[in-house]
Chains A and B, each alone.
Chain A
């Protein structure tokens, strides 16, 4: 079974631009969540999608948004990029539901904002 796939692997953008990251979950997994990882900050929760609906949202500004498609693939968008947005963005999928919370992570997209 293929794992969680994230594209692209690396991105370099400049301040003010926008970026879209993609995540394909493990087949059969309906929940996709996104995390921002920066040195010293660990993983910070961005949002979770299930059946094309955003169920939960972390404490990030509205510049960070996402969506989920009917095949459970998800995209994350960051508009008006700032230098502080440079980070590794990880997505994770899970079966969801009671006792099915286990997260399986992708390899991440390393975003650098210049």
Chain B
């Protein structure tokens, strides 16, 4: 099966600085990599995703990069704001003939200090 590792587990940055969260996966057959943001007591929300045929994707202050050879992908948040404080999860989808199977990292708790 797939194994997703995520680092760091906690991250504190000053408002306006950048934050980077890194994930590695083990199965080269994984082809879809979403990132979720979960605020305290709320449901995980998809913030950005990338497919295996794309190396980078950007949406305003958020970007994701994927290195298929090294089997790692990263989330970049620029100009961080206090409302970016949350737990972020990466995931890898191992899509097979029987459908999707998502494997999640253990999460990164991001704190943006005003």
Q: How many cross-chain pairs have Cβ atoms below 8 Å apart between A and B?
A: 63
A83 close to B (CB within 8 Å): no
For B16-32 the 0/1 string (1 means CB < 8 A from A) is 00000000000000001
Tell me the smallest distance from the CB of B87 to a CB of chain A, in Å.
9
Cβ–Cβ contact A107 & B100, under 8 A: no
Tell me the smallest distance from the CB of A11 to a CB of chain B, in Å.
16
Binding site secondary structure of chain B = strand
Pick from A4, A50, A58, A101: contact of B93, CB under 8 Å: A101
Tell me the smallest distance from the CB of B51 to a CB of chain A, in Å.
8
Residues of B within 8 Å of A, CB-based: how many? 27
For A12-37 the 0/1 string (1 means CB < 8 A from B) is 00000000000000000001010100
State the B residues within 8 Å of A (CB): 1, 6, 32, 34, 36, 42-46, 49, 51, 89, 91, 93, 95-96, 98-107
State the A residues within 8 Å of B (CB): 4, 31, 33, 35, 40-45, 48, 50, 55-56, 58-59, 90, 94, 96, 99, 101-108
